[in-house]
Amino acid sequence: MKISEHCSAADCQRPAAATLAMRALCREHFVVACYKELEGATRRLHETSFSEPSAEALRHFLEECTRQVTDIAQSADDLDNLGRARLLDIVMWASELGSRLRRGPRRQARLQILLRSEKPGRPWEEEAKTQWISRHGALVECEHTVETGEILQVIQVDTGRQAEARVVWQRRRGTGGHEIGIEFTSAINFWEMDWSTTAPDQNP
Ligand SMILES: [Zn+2]
């Protein structure tokens, strides 16, 4: 691809190495822009307002980003180890977000669950509510502080169904408590829903 000679970032005189969203960018600014986009996308993916059009836009960005990174990695002959590591990091992150997108639709649902941490020394249990659910997990409001990677037991209050889930993401809410993204550790249809339909969000 023929791109304009100079990076379009303010006060940057370096030659352009890639384009992102129609902007010609040098390698440094391209990497910074990718990280910024990936961080924003990671946050947005867990918001209830994340919709199909956003998913489509994100898919497009991830493809573009991955393609350009691959181009740079193949054509640049002056990349040092750190430069290569950062490009690889971006590709891995993009691939992780891509697989999250492929894990399918989410539905808004306020379901009562019981979260149980069996962490040695400080076990706890809490009644919590889901914000949305997907085939593989949920976004849950939780008062306890949890760590990414922590394993929790999830019990549906209505049915007593129980499964193990891993915390894949967490954020402190401004109003207190936390939002946590959990993912079941085994491929089960924990919510017992038909995920093959693309029905609009449900609010049971
Ligand atoms: Zn630049």
Residue 61 lies in a domain: yes
Report CA(10)–ligand 1 centroid distance (Å).
8
Report CA(30)–ligand 1 centroid distance (Å).
7
Tens place of pLDDT for every residue, the chain, 204 residues? 454 579 999 999 999 999 888 899 999 999 999 999 999 998 887 766 677 677 888 888 999 999 999 999 988 888 999 999 999 999 999 998 888 787 767 788 899 999 999 988 889 999 999 988 988 889 999 999 998 899 999 999 999 999 999 998 888 887 888 889 898 998 778 998 877 654 444 433
Residues 78 and 65 both lie in one domain: yes
- pTM of model > 0.85: no
Last residue within a domain, chosen from 75, 102, 129? 102
Residues 52 and 27 both lie in one domain: yes
Report CA(37)–ligand 1 centroid distance (Å).
16
Residues 60 and 120 both lie in one domain: no
Report CA(64)–ligand 1 centroid distance (Å).
18
Residue 118 lies in a domain: yes
Query: What backbone phi and psi angles, to 5 degrees, belong to 74?
Result: -80, -35
Residue 198 lies in a domain: no
Last residue within a domain, chosen from 48, 77, 102? 102
Residues 80 and 56 both lie in one domain: yes
Report CA(31)–ligand 1 centroid distance (Å).
10
Which candidate, 182, 144, 202, 169, places its Cα nearest to that of 44? 169
Are 92 and 117 in contact, with CB atoms under 8 Å apart? no
Report CA(55)–ligand 1 centroid distance (Å).
28
Last residue within a domain, chosen from 68, 102, 136? 102
Residue 204 lies in a domain: no
Per the structure, the complete domain to which residue 135 belongs is given by 106-184
Are 69 and 31 in contact, with CB atoms under 8 Å apart? no
SS3 call for 12 = coil
> Considering its fold, how many domains does the chain have in total?
2
Report CA(54)–ligand 1 centroid distance (Å).
27
